[in-house]
Amino acid sequence: MKLIPFITAASAIAIVSLVHAQQVRNEPVKIIEPYVSDTPEKVELGKQLFFDPRLSMSGIISCNTCHNLSYGGTDNLKTSIGHKWQAGPVNSPTVLNSSLQIAQFWDGRASNLEEQAAGPIAADVEMALPHTLAVSVIQSIPGYVDQVQKIYGDDQVTLDHITDAIAEFERTLVTPNAPFDQWLMGDDDAISATALAGYDLFKNAGCIACHYGEALGGKSFMKMGLVAPYESDSPAQGRFDVTGQEMDRFMFKVPTLRNVTLTQPYFHDGAAETLEEATQVMGQLQLGRDFTEQELTQLVAFMETLTGDRLQMMLPILPENGPETPAPSPFE
């Protein structure tokens, strides 16, 4: 009893979320735990960088352009549009819960979020800002230099500082407390009977063999078109593009199904417009079965229970340009 007055608001929240995070049902799908960073200043810097279009050559594209955090962490386009309106080759995956995966990108070519974040800044079809220029832009903004100095004890901004801070911010973008998590924690009424039938089917039909873990995906690379080939216009060949090994052709990272109702269109080429369509294709190409209308309704009802709490946040106020901050070049 004596202790109670000493419990701060923050530790009270931590205790509540620990209690809250107990999964009582023993299922192959695990609940998502909230992420508590021990470096909040780094999270704040990463958040500013995530929203800062000065990290692009045009001055108008930020990470948030293609990974809209006010919606599902994607751009909801078939394939992304980047610098000078160029179409990228693949669909933008969500950044929500991306920290729960074994690797980043459809083909897993980045092993973690730090490595990943360097990619889009310099990619021609994305932000098109060479890394040396990106670093000098951030170095030219006194408010960023101050933060880097405080967090890393360095006066000189490096690409590692930028990607390290962005990655720490991204780790906060987990979405706990979905209706399905509430059900996993023992609340029988959290999901409908139809959704529960969908979950049983999801396990019995074999979806769970690939879409498992807390993110229902992100833990393995699997062949797209296991029992019948997948036809696509996209040049992407999955893991093959990374390893050059024939056995890796069309092996893609199994995407997360968390918040999947917010991340349409689906698949690496964005070819499936609806969740029903994506589910039917999965049945046919991965499991060799045609689902009935009723089965599709059940599977979709289950996947609808996977939308969790998205981080409520204030839009960051970005630090002002310094005297040397270069002007953007939208048409270069």
In 3D, which of 74, 309, 33 has the Cα closest to residue 171? 33
* Residue 20 labelled as part of a binding site: no
Residue 327, helix vs strand vs coil = coil
Q: Which is nearer to ligand HEC, 20 or 139 (CB)?
A: 139
Least Cβ distance, residue 264 to ligand HEC (angstroms): 8
* Residue 1 labelled as part of a binding site: no
Distance of CA 209 to the CA centre of its chain: 21
Q: Which is nearer to ligand HEC, 182 or 286 (CB)?
A: 286
Least Cβ distance, residue 156 to ligand HEC (angstroms): 20
Q: Tell me which of 126, 168, 214, 295 is the catalytic residue.
A: 126
Judged by the rule CB under 6 A, the positions of this chain that interact with ligand HEC are 50, 61, 63, 65-67, 80, 82, 88, 90, 92-93, 95, 98, 101, 104-106, 113, 116-117, 120-121, 126-127, 166, 205-207, 209-211, 222, 224, 226, 252, 254-255, 257, 260, 263, 266-268, 275, 278-279, 282-283, 286-287, 299
* Residue 67 labelled as part of a binding site: yes
Could you write out the DSSP letters of every residue in 8-30? -HHHHHHHHHHHHT---S--SS-
Cβ neighbours around 137 below 10 Å, total: 25
Q: Which is nearer to ligand HEC, 190 or 236 (CB)?
A: 236
Q: Which residues of 145-183 are buried (b: 16+ CB within 10 A; e: fewer)?
A: bebbeebbeeeebebebbbbbbbbbbbbbbbbbbbbbbb
Least Cβ distance, residue 185 to ligand HEC (angstroms): 23
* Residue 207 labelled as part of a binding site: yes
Q: Which is nearer to ligand HEC, 171 or 183 (CB)?
A: 171
Q: Which is nearer to ligand HEC, 126 or 248 (CB)?
A: 126
164 φ/ψ angles, rounded to the nearest 5 degrees:
-65, -45
Pairing of strands 251-253, 221-223: antiparallel
Least Cβ distance, residue 102 to ligand HEC (angstroms): 10
Backbone CA torsion sign across 161, 163, 169, 172: negative
* Residue 282 labelled as part of a binding site: yes
Peptide bond into 130 cis (omega under 30): no
The verdict on whether 126 is a catalytic residue reads: yes
Least Cβ distance, residue 2 to ligand HEC (angstroms): 46
Residue 114, helix vs strand vs coil = helix
DSSP structure class, residue 110 = B
* Residue 83 labelled as part of a binding site: yes
Q: Which residues are catalytic?
A: 126
Question: Which residue positions form the known binding site?
Answer: 63, 66-67, 83, 207, 210-211, 282
List binding-site positions for heme c: 63, 66-67, 83, 207, 210-211, 282
